[in-house]
Amino acid sequence: MDVSVREKGIFGFGAFRMDAVRRCLARDGVPLKLPPKLFDTLLYLVENAGRVVEKDELLTAVWDGRFVEEANLTQTVFLLRRILQSDETTADFIVTVPGHGYRFVATVRRGTESGATVGASTALQEAGPAAHFEPPATEQGASEPSRAWWRTGNAALIAAALLLAGVISLALVQRWASERAPPGVHAAFNPPPRSVAVLAFTNMSGDRSQDYLADGFSEELINVLSRVDALHVAARTSAFFFKSHPATIADIARQLNVGAVLEGSVRREGQRLRITVQLINATTGYHFWSHNYDRDFGDVLKLQTEIAEKVTQSLQVTLNAGDTERLTMGGTTNSGAFDAFLRGLRFMNGRDEPSYRSALAAFDEAVRLDPRYAGAQNMRAIVLMLIASVGTASDRPSLRETEAQALDAANRAVVLAPGWGPAHAARGSVLMTLLDFAGAEREQSQARTLAPNDVRVDRSYAYLESCLDHPAAAEAAAARVVARYPTEASGYWEQASVFYLDRRFRDSLTASRHAAALTTTEPPGDQAISALAWLALKEPKATHDACAPNRNWQQSECLAIAAYQLGHTAEAKAQLASLHQSLGDRGAYQYAQIYAQWGDRNDALAWLNTAYRLRDTGLVMLKVDPLLDPIRATPEFADIERRLNFPP
């Protein structure tokens, strides 16, 4: 064979040299002859280095289109990682892109750029079939950790070959790998028992418009698993973070602090679904189990329950009668209603009024198709309150009608699913917005009792308890949110808000910095939290700088206060005028805050009375709001606080 032709099939990466023609792999000149499927998989990834190789593409390329469980592919990639990793600190060459496939991330040198001589491949070709089982003896002075890795890598490789051939069981492989693992490899990773993350499922339908189905199925599965008290389930936002941030399963598990990772794919053909699911032990990399499901769309609720039960069994959790009942609570068996519900969830990601109204239309359709669908009623309540909070309509009757519809939807959800925690949490949030604090506290406490693992419940509970001046309960709930949202900025922004209202301003700034480090974009108002903390610390210049982007009314408000304290009176009044123009009377509470900080007690109290007359939702913070401290000791303020009937 012509040398130039053969060299086109020679690749170098790291300490490795790969000859595609002679089907040889070496590390630092030491031969590593791989089983055929492992070699073919690695070769395909190396040839396509730098881009994401979809799972279906890889299965087709390596297994020639024959039906193969995804578990075989995952197991193959796991063993390749173990073989390519020289020690536990070495970065992976192969990165998992959750919901898609794999990417070979090492720099690949081709042909003579590989740094190895052509003649070296001859030695690889002549190496015996046992070359990958027992490497040549190390020279005196060679590091023992390297030899320890080889022993472990060889054991895993042998086990994988036998497993893929169907000779031994998965349980035996897991035991073998565990017994042969180098001491201390997993010592630093100690996730809670029975902890799991559900990654965003892959849409295998060949139609991007069906992405909402894969995402929605994953999200609902997270919610179902969260109802099992004995499980620790990573929150949806944290788990979905890795959809756009490639990482290995091991890295995902470490970042989310979970012992197991569930991933899968969804393929839709008309009213038929094909769903592939696999639960991976994050410590060993092996599967607990994997399975393919072929079902009618109307069986989705039953299918979610089956998967949840399988996960709990694998994690050694015994379901009692109450757990089993909660798995289906709030759901529907109507395929059209479920499809509409998932479309509504997708629109919720828009975070603006048009998106919320599109979501509402989808949830309305779900309720029309199944009037007993508590989950859809629950989301109707939530999205209606969001519309009320961000809506541009300034007339009070329209706002009151939207709030009344939200309360009606929340009440219906509770009646349909009285034992479902999120329904009580949503009703509690609506009641809080309507300034019924006693009712809100009752509902949120009930939600915590019914759904102690649901992060959505903790989020609403933390905000309520913070506003009721119960800092210990609020901070504990916020800490639980952060623990389940370790990769998500919103959890830290919420913690920053809780600390701010408890007047722990330095801690609030720290939480804000954590949040800012995780994202370059913040939802409206989040950046103003750190600005207000600087304001409370008597740093108006830092406050002004933090709010200078002036992208929303929250930042306009803090600019009005900071500019005034810096002596920029004209700028401060211009910001207040801008707020009046955009908010009208809906900004009554904000105007009271500004005038209080300006030292204008009379105007501050006048606007606070206007806010009370209009039942302004900003009054939920009145009891703890640092911006109102300059007027807190007045009789007029005490009278408004008394009339709001805050519980003790």
Q: Quick one: average pLDDT of 582-589?
A: 89
What is the pLDDT, as a whole number, of residue 473? 94
End-to-end Cα spacing for the chain: 87
How far apart, in whole angstroms, are the C-alpha atoms of residue 586 and residue 592? Answer: 12
Residues 625 and 562 in one domain: yes
Report pLDDT digits (tens) over 294-332. 888 777 778 888 888 888 888 888 776 666 677 778 888
Report pLDDT digits (tens) over 369-419. 999 999 999 999 999 999 988 765 456 678 889 999 999 999 999 999 999
Give the pLDDT band of residue 123 (cuts 50, 70, 90): very low
The beta strand positions in 20-82, using DSSP E, are: 24-27, 30-31, 53-54
Q: Quick one: average pLDDT of 147-162?
A: 33
Which of 347, 362, 187, 196 has its CA nearest to residue 281?
196
What is the pLDDT, as a whole number, of residue 122? 33
Give the pLDDT band of residue 438 (cuts 50, 70, 90): very high
Q: Which of 287, 305, 323 is the last residue of a domain?
A: 323
> Residue 171 CA to chain centroid, in angstroms?
30
SS3 of 85, please?
Answer: coil
Give Cβ neighbours of residue 643 (< 8 Å, ≥ 6 apart): 612
Domain CATH number, residue 437: 1.25.40.10
Give the pLDDT band of residue 128 (cuts 50, 70, 90): very low
Place of tokens 């989950």: 375
Which of 189, 197, 185 has its CA nearest to residue 242?
197
Q: Which of 291, 323, 355 is the last residue of a domain?
A: 323
Q: Quick one: average pLDDT of 613-627?
A: 94
Q: What are phi and psi of 474, to 5 degrees?
A: -65, -45
* Structural domain includes residue 498: no
Both structure tokens of 260: 């197991």
* Structural domain includes residue 367: yes
Domain CATH number, residue 156: 1.10.10.10
Residue 121 near residue 66 (C-beta atoms within 8 A) = no
Residues 38 and 153 in one domain: yes
DSSP state for residue 181 in the 8-state scheme: S
What is the pLDDT, as a whole number, of residue 238? 66
Residues 295 and 226 in one domain: yes
What is the pLDDT, as a whole number, of residue 148? 30
pLDDT surpasses 50 at 164: no
How far apart, in whole angstroms, are the C-alpha atoms of residue 592 and residue 604? Answer: 4
How far apart, in whole angstroms, are the C-alpha atoms of residue 43 and residue 62? Answer: 10
What is the pLDDT, as a whole number, of residue 570? 95
Both structure tokens of 509: 């700034």
User: Reduced to 3 DSSP states, what percent helix, strand and coil does the chain have, rounded to the nearest 5?
Assistant: 60, 10, 30
When divided into structural domains, the chain yields a total of 4
What is the pLDDT, as a whole number, of residue 140? 33
pLDDT surpasses 70 at 510: yes
How far apart, in whole angstroms, are the C-alpha atoms of residue 507 and residue 505? Answer: 5
Q: Quick one: average pLDDT of 207-212?
A: 80
Both structure tokens of 524: 């409206």
Both structure tokens of 144: 């023992």
Residue 112 near residue 196 (C-beta atoms within 8 A) = no
What is the pLDDT, as a whole number, of residue 65? 52
Report pLDDT digits (tens) over 248-296. 888 888 888 888 998 888 888 877 888 888 898 887 777 888 888 888 8
* Structural domain includes residue 410: yes
Residues 335 and 316 in one domain: no
In terms of Cβ atoms closer than 10 Å to its own Cβ (0-12, 13-18, 19+), residue 458 is buried
What is the pLDDT, as a whole number, of residue 182? 35
Residues 228 and 296 in one domain: yes
Residue 381 near residue 430 (C-beta atoms within 8 A) = yes
pLDDT surpasses 90 at 461: yes
Give the pLDDT band of residue 601 (cuts 50, 70, 90): very high
Both structure tokens of 416: 């349909």
Both structure tokens of 145: 């950790």
Report pLDDT digits (tens) over 528-538. 788 889 989 99
Residues 371 and 304 in one domain: no
For 214-266, the DSSP string reads HHHHHHHHHHHHTT-TT-EE--HHHHHGGGSS---HHHHHHHHT-SEEEEEEE
Q: How many residues does the chain have?
A: 648
Report pLDDT digits (tens) over 632-641. 999 999 999 9
How far apart, in whole angstroms, are the C-alpha atoms of residue 430 and residue 560? Answer: 30
pLDDT surpasses 50 at 549: yes
What is the pLDDT, as a whole number, of residue 326? 73
How far apart, in whole angstroms, are the C-alpha atoms of residue 362 and residue 482? Answer: 31
Q: Are strands 260-269 and 287-296 parallel, antiparallel or unpaired?
A: unpaired
Percent of the chain with pLDDT over 90: 32
Percent of the chain with pLDDT over 70: 79
How far apart, in whole angstroms, are the C-alpha atoms of residue 502 and residue 431? Answer: 23
How far apart, in whole angstroms, are the C-alpha atoms of residue 61 and residue 66? Answer: 10
For residue 443, the enclosing domain spans: 329-451
Q: Which long-range contacts (CB under 8 A, 24 or more apart) does 637-640 make?
A: 637/605, 637/608, 640/608, 640/609, 640/612
Domain CATH number, residue 256: 3.40.50.10610
Both structure tokens of 462: 């933390």
Residues 156 and 212 in one domain: no
What is the pLDDT, as a whole number, of residue 213? 84
Both structure tokens of 124: 């690889």
Give Cβ neighbours of residue 13 (< 8 Å, ≥ 6 apart): 46, 49, 93, 104, 106, 107, 108, 109
* Structural domain includes residue 379: yes
Give the pLDDT band of residue 3 (cuts 50, 70, 90): very low
Give the pLDDT band of residue 642 (cuts 50, 70, 90): very high
What is the pLDDT, as a whole number, of residue 474? 94
Residue 608 near residue 640 (C-beta atoms within 8 A) = yes
Q: Quick one: average pLDDT of 586-596?
A: 94
pLDDT surpasses 90 at 178: no
What is the pLDDT, as a whole number, of residue 520? 53
Residues 334 and 411 in one domain: yes
How far apart, in whole angstroms, are the C-alpha atoms of residue 199 and residue 239? Answer: 5
Residues 163 and 52 in one domain: yes
Lowest mean pLDDT among 1-15, 33-47, 400-414: 1-15
* Structural domain includes residue 576: yes
Mean pLDDT of the chain: 79
Q: Which of 276, 297, 323 is the last residue of a domain?
A: 323
Domain CATH number, residue 580: 1.25.40
What is the pLDDT, as a whole number, of residue 445? 94
pTM of the model: 0.65
* Structural domain includes residue 461: no
Report pLDDT digits (tens) over 75-88. 678 778 777 865 44
* Structural domain includes residue 115: no
* Structural domain includes residue 52: yes
Q: Are strands 272-281 and 287-296 parallel, antiparallel or unpaired?
A: antiparallel
Residues 314 and 400 in one domain: no
Residues 38 and 168 in one domain: yes
Residues 86 and 224 in one domain: no
What is the pLDDT, as a whole number, of residue 395? 60
What is the pLDDT, as a whole number, of residue 369? 95
